[in-house]
Chain A
Amino acid sequence: MKQMLRMSDNADIHELEQETYRYSMQDGLAEILIGLILVTSTVVIEDFPRHGYFLWLIVLMIPIWEKLRRKFTYPRIGFVKVRQDEPSRPGMAVLLLVMAILVVVPITWVLIPSDSPIYDTLWRYLPVAFGVMMILPSYFLVEKTGDRRYYAFGLLTVITGLIFALLEFEPPRAGPVLYLHGWGVAIILVGLTTFIRFIRKCPLIEPDEVEASEQ
Chain B
Amino acid sequence: MAQLYVIESADFIFLMRRTQLTWGNLSSHMSKLETAGYIKVEKEFVDKKPHTILALTEKGKAAFRSYRKVMQKVLNEIPK
Q: Which of A13, A80, A84 contacts B2 (CB 8 A)?
A: A13
B20 CB–A CB distance under 8 Å: no
B residues 27-68 touching A (CB-CB < 8 Å): 27, 43, 46-47, 49-53, 67-68
A residues 20-56 touching B (CB-CB < 8 Å): 20, 23
With an 8 Å Cβ cutoff, the count of chain B residues facing the other chain is: 33
With A17-B6, A209-B23 already in contact, the answer to whether A79 and B53 are too (CB < 8 A) is yes
User: Which residues from chain B sit less than 8 Å from chain A, CB to CB?
Assistant: 2-3, 5-18, 23, 26-27, 43, 46-47, 49-53, 67-69, 71-72, 75
With A210-B13, A212-B23, A213-B12 already in contact, the answer to whether A80 and B75 are too (CB < 8 A) is no
With an 8 Å Cβ cutoff, the count of chain A residues facing the other chain is: 30
User: Which residues from chain A sit less than 8 Å from chain B, CB to CB?
Assistant: 4-9, 13, 16-17, 20, 23, 70, 74-84, 205, 209-214
With A75-B13, A78-B17, A209-B23 already in contact, the answer to whether A16 and B2 are too (CB < 8 A) is yes
Q: Which of A9, A78, A214 contacts B43 (CB 8 A)?
A: A214
| A and B contact pairs by CB, cutoff 8 A, 21 listed | A7-B2, A7-B67, A8-B69, A9-B72, A16-B2, A20-B7, A75-B13, A77-B14, A78-B10, A78-B15, A78-B18, A79-B10, A79-B53, A81-B9, A81-B10, A82-B7, A210-B12, A210-B13, A211-B50, A213-B12, A213-B26
Instruction: Give Cα A81 to B55, complex, Å.
Output: 10
With A5-B75, A8-B68, A70-B46 already in contact, the answer to whether A80 and B10 are too (CB < 8 A) is yes
Closest A residue to B64 by beta carbon equals A7
Instruction: Give Cα A81 to B46, complex, Å.
Output: 16
Contact present for B52 and A213 (CB under 8 Å): yes
- Tell me, rounded to whole Å, the shortest Cβ–Cβ distance linking A40 to chain B: 28
Q: Which residues of B contact A4 (CB under 8 A)?
A: 71, 75
